[in-house]
Amino acid sequence: MRVGGAIKARWGGTSRAARWTAAGAAVVLVGGGAAWGVAAGGEPHVRTSDQRVAVVDGPKDDQRVTLDTTFYAPVGRAKGPAVLLGHGFGGDKYGVASEARALAREGYAVLAWSARGFGRSTGEIALNSPDYEVKDTRQLIDWLARRPEVQLDGPGDPRLGMAGESYGGAIALMTAAYDRRVDAIAPQITWNDLAGALFPNGTGAGAETGVFKKLWAGLFFTDGAGASACGRFLPSLCAMYQKVAESGRPDADAVATLRRSSPASVADRIRVPTLLVQGQTDSLFPLDQADANARAIARNGAPVSVVWYQGGHDGGDPETERVRGLLRDFFDARLRHRAPSGNGNGNGNGAGDKDGFAVTRAGGIDSSTQEVVVEEATARAYSGLGAGPQTLSLDGREQTIFNPAGGSPASISALPGLGALGGLGDLGAGALGGGLPADMPGQSARFDTRPLAHPLRLTGAATVRIRVSGKKDVPLFAKLYDVAPDGQAAPARRLAAPLRVTGGATVTVTLPAMDYRFDRGHRLRLVLTTTDMGFATPPEPASYKVAVVSGLTVPTVPSLATRPAPIPGWVWGLPLAAFAAAAGILVRGRRGRPSHATPADVPLEITGLTKAYRNGHLAVSDLSFRVEKGQVLGLLGPNGAGKTTTLRMLMGLIHPDAGEIRIFGHRVTPGAPVLSRLGSFVEGPGFLPHLSGRDNLDLYWRATGRPPDEAHMEEALTIAGLGAALDRAVRTYSQGMRQRLAIAQAMLGLPDLLVLDEPTNGLDPPQIREMREVLVRYAAAGRTVIVSSHMLAEVEQTCTHAVVMAGGRRVAAGPVAEITGSGRRLEDAFLEIIGEAP
């Protein structure tokens, strides 16, 4: 559902339901044309055909609507399974064109359409009503069954999947309940109960007493209204919204109308394989909506796979291509009975498996794109929102909170577009730096756990019992914070759970579902506020007393195992013990020459190192050298000499074809504990410009998953010598300061061996001099530094020793003074060594 332009939903839905034929009317092709789409980058051509399809709908089959569609013929085959591809609210068929073409190239016959009331389709918006939009999709299935390119399971019965985001996801679920011809569905970021989503967490009768999600509802109805108050909505829906917006509460008729357009109303009829993809940064349709769909469909005996990904209606979606791959794997498995291709999770635990569960987690920031890098954790079975509960004690002191007159100023939890920040939530407290307002003074009560003795991964929805005293009909908003040892608190997710309670009542609060890691030494903080900008609250001033009467029950799913993800450039600076297990590109090479013992106090010894690439280029050939404690070694050579390849093998990013690398006597292998003694900086630094230098380093260290007390932050900062600049935003830094911050980042944990690739790139002479002092100070404590550089003068002035490389081979090695000889500059010696005497 694209609401107010906050996000453009891309995928439509799938389902399996009984065939329906409009009374006295057949589906008629009104008009159309064919075109050949030429794919960029040499990809196969996709043949497309625009069609205007006439359908009959309405409660009495008395409305005639023309749907604007595009058919994408399967590439490379005469027939293929069909996919109905829906769009999000406010969108149209053009919003899913790229996905449709991708599926067509995989051999699927794809039909994308603009839902009634959107794009060039006629009719009025009915919110996926069984009387309107569901009847439309069933007639589109009739149309697909007559296409010669579509594989059939029987007369009039196409082999069919449906996919769609939000609005398109809900129509997939609804169609599956009403038309048994649908074979598999893959709805994304959609709802189970539209009434419960817009009026969540009511008591007693349910949504009628829920808290009105006024911001999302307003954007939702405004987006479909167009130039007039009702625009392209059915007049009855427009009148319903206006009544609710004025009162702040739905009546029974409004709830009934919204629920009739909800999968919850027909959940017992959805009996097809289902892939549910739900966003973790989604305050419109949170994870509990997917959970309700999953549990309902599973009760019918159908296989259900669930994926929680880093995205949603609030924005901040860094994994669109991965989700598309999951969907293709799912349809390949369910419509073609193929094994997963690896486009998605590829490990057999998620999209294609019965009851699989996958969660993606923020793993850092890519230096080149400044986007969140994600990792995936999978389990064989979906565990729901309350598995593996642990109870943590809370401070139970009763607190008084106030609702301001007019409900303003209001606290802020989630707003459309804040999901990009919410996606960083998994990186730990302090990531946001307190730059956004959250809870207004006097309006919030706080209850903390004790500091954690061990890291805690919360997966699901935490619960707690509270007692509220005050006026009748109290709306509250519950959220969870991560509190660092220094007291800095950040939202675990920018989501709030609204609830409405009667004064004097004791109730169980279910907090927003999430997947989040709390580090050792951190505290969990329950916050209860009287206002939230996204919801309707009473205008009258009032005060309430709130107390917790239980501990905080936290769900966990230990069976979720993290699957390695590709490593971006910035992660190369992590201590390798932290990322060796996560490095998806580590592979086993051919066996090198027999190893020999290296003393445990030797920081680095390389023996017979060789690496050739697939194109035959021999990047490194039989390279051997040794580095001792306290040395600053310069790895020197022209472009193409093999320096960077050597460093990448040293850091485990690529595996040698022959030879070996030993750090402090231990051979470098993926995940070797000794790698924790190595710190590195390769390629350019990648920082969040709006955060301070200190906050960037804190965020970086939390991404390693190591305890805060092992960072030795202050020692690294002292060596880097950034002074007061640490507390300024990085966007104000000079290039030299950014480089020094990057070096400080590599120094976190005070690794015994520090490896830096071209650390003085882009620096002016004074900055180079400062960088030289930083490296000398670091090595002076008995540690070892390796610097790759093409700047001969800097190696001569900074390094105690040098290894000169040319053509992938070592051509000289030793103390800089010995290489240069009496009175010679290193530049002259270097040119002589490689055969280019001055």
Neighbour count for residue 33 (Cβ, 10 Å):
9
pLDDT range class, residue 566, cuts 50, 70, 90: very low
Is the model more confident about 187 or about 520?
Answer: 187
CATH code, domain with 444: 2.60.120.260
Same domain, 541 and 415: yes
**Residue 818 corresponds to which amino acid?**
E
Q: Distance (Å, rounded) from C-alpha 536 to C-alpha 510?
A: 19
179 against 340, higher pLDDT: 179
* pLDDT at 714 > cutoff 60: yes
Residue 648 confidence class, pLDDT cut points 50, 70, 90: confident
| Cα atoms in the 13 Å half-sphere on the side-chain side of 365 | 23
- Is 37 a residue whose pLDDT tops 60? no
DSSP string, 485-543: TTS-EEESSS--EEEEE-TT-EEEEEPPPEEEEEPTT-EEEEEEES--TTS---SS-EE
> Would you say residue 334 has pLDDT above 80?
yes
At residue 116's C-alpha, the angle toward residues 114 and 117, to 5°, is 100
Of the candidates 540, 521, 522, 419, which has an alpha carbon nearest to the alpha carbon of residue 480? Answer: 522
pLDDT, residue 339, reads: 66
Q: What is the mean pLDDT of residues 615-634?
A: 89
Report which listed range, 364-373, 417-426, 700-709, is most confident: 700-709
* Span 58-75, average pLDDT: 96
| pLDDT score, position 565 | 41
Whether 147 shows a pLDDT value over 80: the answer reads: yes
Residues 184 and 202 in one domain: no
Stretch 689-718: mean pLDDT: 81
Distance CA 185, CA 267 (A): 14
Asked whether the predicted pLDDT for residue 813 surpasses 70, the reply is yes
Res 391: pLDDT: 97
Q: Is the pLDDT of residue 35 over 70?
A: no
Q: Are residues 466 and 575 in the same domain?
A: no
Tell me how crowded residue 63 is: count the other CB atoms within 10 A of its CB.
18
- Average pLDDT value for residue range 480-487: 91
Judge whether 563 lies within some domain. Answer: no
pLDDT at residue 792 above 90? Answer: no
| Residue 371: pLDDT band with limits 50, 70, 90 | low
652 shares its domain with 515: no
494 with 636, same domain: the answer is no
Same domain, 595 and 663: yes
Residues 176, 270: contact at Cβ < 8 Å?
Answer: yes
Evaluate whether residue 786 is within a structural domain: yes
The rounded distance, in Å, linking the Cα atoms of 96 and 2 is 13
**Which pLDDT tens digit goes with each residue over 728-760?**
888 788 777 887 888 888 888 888 899 888 877
Q: Are the C-beta atoms of 365 and 567 separated by less than 8 Å?
A: no
Structure tokens, 585: 């590109």
The confidence score (pLDDT) of residue 208 equals 64
Mean pLDDT in residue range 449-470? 94
- Is 1 part of any domain? no
561 in a structural domain: no
| Residues 279 and 338 grouped into a single domain | yes
Q: What is the pTM of this model?
A: 0.66
pLDDT at 422 over 60: no
Q: Which of 240, 260, 280 finishes a domain?
A: 260
In this structure, are residues 745 and 737 in contact, taking their beta carbons and an 8 Å threshold? Answer: no
pLDDT value, residue 184: 98
For residue 668, the SS3 value is coil
Torsional sign, CA 526, 531, 535, 539: positive
Residues 590 and 718 in one domain: yes
**Angstrom distance (rounded) from CA 593 to CA 103:** 48
Query: Facing residues of 508 across strands?
Result: 465
What's the total number of domains in the chain?
4
Q: Examine the domain organization and report whether 696 and 817 are in the same domain.
A: yes
Residue 189 has pLDDT above 60, yes or no: yes
Q: What is the pLDDT of residue 160?
A: 98
Whether residue 283 contacts residue 198, with contact meaning beta carbons closer than 8 Å, is answered with no
Mean pLDDT of 496-507: 86
Residue 17 lies in a domain: no
% of the chain exceeding 70 in pLDDT: 78
Q: What's the CATH number where 665 sits?
A: 3.40.50.300
Where does the pLDDT of residue 703 fall: very low under 50, low under 70, confident under 90, or very high at 90 and above?
confident
pLDDT score recorded for residue 569? 31
My answer on whether 609 and 735 are in the same domain is yes
When pLDDT is averaged across residues 518-547 and rounded to a whole number, the result is 91
Helix pair angle (735-747, 713-720), 10° resolution: 140
Whether residues 229 and 351 share a domain: the answer is no
Q: Which candidate, 397, 308, 433, 393, places its Cα nearest to that of 359? A: 308
Which residue pairs, CB below 8 angstroms and at least 24 apart, start in 772-775? 772/797, 772/798, 773/721, 774/719, 774/720, 774/721, 774/740, 774/743, 775/632, 775/743
Is residue 172 classed as helix, strand or coil in its secondary structure?
helix
pLDDT mean across residues, the chain:
80
Backbone angles phi, psi at 2, to 5 degrees: -85, 115
Q: Specify if 696 maps to a domain.
A: yes
Q: What is the dihedral of CA 454, 455, 461, 463, to 10 degrees?
A: 30
Report the range out of 339-343, 559-563, 711-715 with the highest average pLDDT: 711-715
Task: Check whether 46 has a pLDDT greater than 90.
Answer: yes
- Measured CA to CA, the distance from residue 778 to residue 106 in angstroms comes to 54
* Residue 11 within any structural domain of the chain: no
In the predicted structure, residue 394 carries a pLDDT above the cut 90: yes
pLDDT range class, residue 585, cuts 50, 70, 90: very low
Residue 251's pLDDT band (cuts 50, 70, 90): confident
pLDDT at 571 over 50: no
The helix/strand/coil state of 745 is: helix
Nearest to 360 by CA among 350, 369, 370, 371: 350
Q: Residue 555: pLDDT above 90? A: yes
Mean pLDDT of 791-820: 83
Using an 8 Å Cβ cutoff, are 385 and 555 in contact? yes
The answer as to whether 838 is a domain residue is: no
**Confidence tier at 12 by pLDDT (50, 70, 90):** very low
| pLDDT, mean of residues 676-699 | 77
Residue-by-residue DSSP string for 333-387: HHHS-PPP-SSS--SSSSTTSTT-EEEEEEEEE-TTT-PEEEEEEEESS---SS-
- pLDDT at residue 366 is higher than 70: no
Residues 257-286, mean pLDDT to the nearest whole number? 95
CA distance 725 to 239: 57
Reported confidence tier of residue 437, pLDDT bands at 50, 70, 90 = very low
- Average pLDDT in the 61-65 region? 95
Q: CA–CA separation, 83 vs 46, rounded Å?
A: 15
Residue 227: give the domain boundaries.
197-260
pLDDT (0 to 100) of residue 675: 72
Q: How much is the pLDDT for 693?
A: 86
For 305-315, the pLDDT digits (tens) are 999 998 888 87
- Higher-pLDDT residue of 220, 827: 220
Model pLDDT, residue 625: 93
Res 364: pLDDT: 53
Q: What is the CATH number of the domain that holds 179?
A: 3.40.50.1820
Tell me: pLDDT of 38 over 60: no
Q: Is pLDDT at 431 greater than 80 in this prediction?
A: no
pLDDT in tens, 587-619: 223 233 334 455 778 899 999 999 988 777 899
Judged against a pLDDT cut of 60, whether residue 17 lies above it is answered with no
Give the 3-state secondary structure of residue 26: coil
User: Looking at the predicted structure, is the pLDDT value of residue 271 above 80?
Assistant: yes
546 and 577 in a single domain? The answer is no
Q: Single out the residue in 358, 379, 400 at which a domain terminates.
A: 379
Residue 486 has pLDDT above 80, yes or no: yes
pLDDT at 829: 53
Q: How far is CA 440 from CA 447, 523, 538, in A?
A: 16, 21, 16
